[in-house]
Amino acid sequence: MLQILYRDDRLIAIHKPAGLLVHRTVLDRHETRFAVQLLRDQIGQRVYPVHRLDKGTSGALLFALDKDAGREMSWQFERQQVDKRYLAVVRGHTDDAGHIDHPLNRRPDDLEWIGETMETAPQPAVTDYRTLARAELPIMVERYPTSRYSLLELTPQTGRRHQLRRHLKHIAHPIIGDSTYGKGRHNRMFADELDCRRMLLACVEMRLTLPDGGPLLLRCPLERDFSALLSRLGWLDAVGAAGIESTI
């Protein structure tokens, strides 16, 4: 059963768990469960996704309940009129705050054919971050006797595909659990030593405009496995101070 965060006559928002695809893709042909299908069956009517979250990312996911609302809300996301806030655990100790302005080449959409390389000019991409907490663990992962990690609040100013994951790799602070852009040694350490086998990225808040013109603030609590990891690192107070709800 998917957790419903918000519902009215035209929109519905859910908490998408990590590991669940939004819809069928050519990259994951073996998958049989999708948020679109599960939500449709749960509420007994058709739903229209208006944006996406990567399979490994958890958090707030919005759907429309009719085509017109779907087009209107998709238009807001495409024109970068939706404010989004994410939480991530990354490798290394980051600066207190940062502004990443690094153009990104376009990546194919999930539903696009990927048999040929897609060459496009880099598109503007901007991400701001704020460091909420840091930790140093007495575990040797690379050449140092200890390993450092940071908890970040991320606010993307643009909406490029895999933007947060690619931007954090660009500044040498990849997200833990990211099998594509991350560091395998650190991912394995979190799995083996901290019992965490997911990508540590979650969409915890979105601010947007309803089809009738009113404001909507969506807040999404963290999944239990994400909260449990933050608890082990002593970061739950920092999460609470940032106004993010944990499940612990």
Catalogue the active-site residues: 54
For the chain, give percent helix, strand, coil, nearest 5.
Answer: 20, 30, 50
Closest CA to 14 of 44, 69, 53: 53
Exposed/middle/buried for 170, CB within 10 Å: 0-12, 13-18, 19+? middle
Question: For every residue of 40-93, which 3-state class applies, written as one string?
Answer: HHHHCCCCEECCCCCCCCEEEEEEECCHHHHHHHHHHHHCCCCEEEEEEEEECC
Cα separation, 37 vs 16, whole angstroms: 13
Q: What is the DSSP letter of 34?
A: B
Length of the chain: 248
Please give the structure tokens belonging to residue 127. 């991400």
Cα separation, 50 vs 62, whole angstroms: 6
Closest CA to 233 of 196, 187, 181: 196
Residue 41 contacts residue 32 (beta carbons within 8 Å): no
Cα separation, 241 vs 68, whole angstroms: 38
